[in-house]
């Protein structure tokens, strides 16, 4: 079993809130990648774990031919609504529904850490990349640089006990495991950068809606109930709530760009 059977049931339960609020928190990373790679009409790009398609939509403006794949049918539907000209499909990142050597660029924004086996997912990404192609992986930065880690810890306390060896949100960040795994699966790491990401919500209501829309929170709700999770998240955001009512988290994402 890959990640689709597990993650597809968790993500997309609040697809509109994800699309309208939470997916925007990755935009600093999306812009960094677009500016670094400078895709053109000659590129074919796959967005793995595309969510509701925000990055796919943005990068399509460069003229690149874009496709997206995600475990969640609901998010794929929302992505197609965002941009019906892009091919979005529901699929398994460890068994991608594409031929060998199809894409010049493969991107995974906070997605590969949710694979049942990260090495298998990266091997699949390498398979569909053309020789000389680029792989983009974005994960959390160091935990001490991410204020949202406090919210993740609070939600984590409401989840069922993890299975032995189960990775947490920062598993690929610790001890530079992402870079090591990329090299083990045949990639050459070309660039690693920690990019500042400010999560700025207009109100506590908006913040809570956004934070409740992720897959891990859906898992916590299934285990502990909506009311308990809602109360816990409401309390967790208090230290980051400004006098004007905005909720602001300062975080960093780690972006690794590798070549085949």
pLDDT in tens, the chain (260 residues): 467 777 767 788 899 999 999 999 999 999 999 999 999 999 999 999 999 999 999 999 999 999 999 999 999 999 999 999 999 999 999 999 999 999 999 999 999 988 889 999 999 999 999 999 999 999 999 999 999 999 999 999 998 876 655 566 888 998 899 999 999 999 999 999 999 999 999 999 999 999 999 988 999 999 999 999 999 999 999 999 999 999 999 999 999 999 99
Q: Does some domain include residue 46?
A: yes
The per-residue pLDDT for 2 is 62
How many structural domains comprise the chain? 1
Segments forming the whole domain that contains residue 77:
4-143+165-198+251-259
Distance CA 211, CA 231 (A): 12
Residue corresponding to tokens 């809570």: 208
2-5 contacts, C-beta under 8 A, 24 or more apart = 2/92, 2/93, 2/94, 2/95, 2/115, 2/116, 2/117, 2/120, 3/71, 3/92, 3/93, 3/94, 3/114, 3/115, 3/116, 3/121, 4/71, 4/90, 4/91, 4/92, 4/93
In a domain, 208, yes or no: no
Q: Phi and psi dihedrals of 43, rounded to 5?
A: -90, 145
Q: Is residue 171 part of a domain?
A: yes
70 lies in some domain: yes
Distances (CA, A) of 47 to 34, 54, 109, 239: 13, 10, 8, 34
Question: Are 203 and 247 a contacting pair, CB within 8 Å?
Answer: yes
Summarize the chain as % helix, strand, coil (round to 5): 45, 25, 30
pLDDT attached to residue 164: 54
In a domain, 156, yes or no: no
| 72: CATH | 3.40.50.150
In a domain, 81, yes or no: yes
The reply to whether 228 falls in a domain is no
Tell me if the pTM is above 0.95: no
- Structural domain includes residue 61: yes
């Amino acid at each position: 079993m890959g990640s689709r059977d597990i993650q597809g049931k968790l993500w997309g339960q609040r697809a509109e809130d994800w699309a309208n609020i939470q997916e925007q928190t990755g935009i600093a990373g999306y812009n960094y990648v677009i500016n670094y790679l400078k895709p053109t009409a000659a590129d074919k790009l796959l967005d793995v774990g595309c969510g509701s398609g925000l990055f796919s939509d943005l990068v399509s403006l460069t003229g690149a031919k874009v496709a997206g794949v995600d475990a969640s049918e609901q998010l794929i539907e929302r992505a197609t609504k965002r941009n019906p000209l892009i091919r979005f499909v529901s699929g398994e990142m460890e068994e991608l529904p594409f031929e060998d050597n199809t894409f010049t660029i493969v991107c995974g924004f906070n997605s590969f850490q949710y694979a049942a086996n990260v090495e298998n997912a990266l091997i699949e990404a390498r398979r569909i990349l053309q020789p000389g192609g680029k792989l983009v992986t974005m994960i959390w930065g160091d935990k001490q640089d991410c204020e949202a880690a406090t919210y993740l810890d609070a939600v984590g306390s409401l989840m069922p006990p993890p299975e032995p060896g189960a990775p947490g949100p920062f598993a690929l960040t610790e001890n530079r495991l992402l870079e090591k795994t990329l090299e083990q699966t045949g990639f050459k790491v070309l660039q690693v950068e920690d990019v500042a990401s400010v999560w700025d919500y207009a109100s506590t209501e908006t913040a809570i809606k956004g934070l409740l829309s992720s897959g891990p929170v859906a898992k916590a709700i299934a285990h502990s109930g909506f009311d308990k999770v809602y109360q816990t998240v409401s309390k967790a955001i208090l230290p980051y709530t400004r006098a004007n009512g905005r909720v602001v988290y300062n975080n960093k994402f780690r972006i690794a760009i590798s070549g085949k």
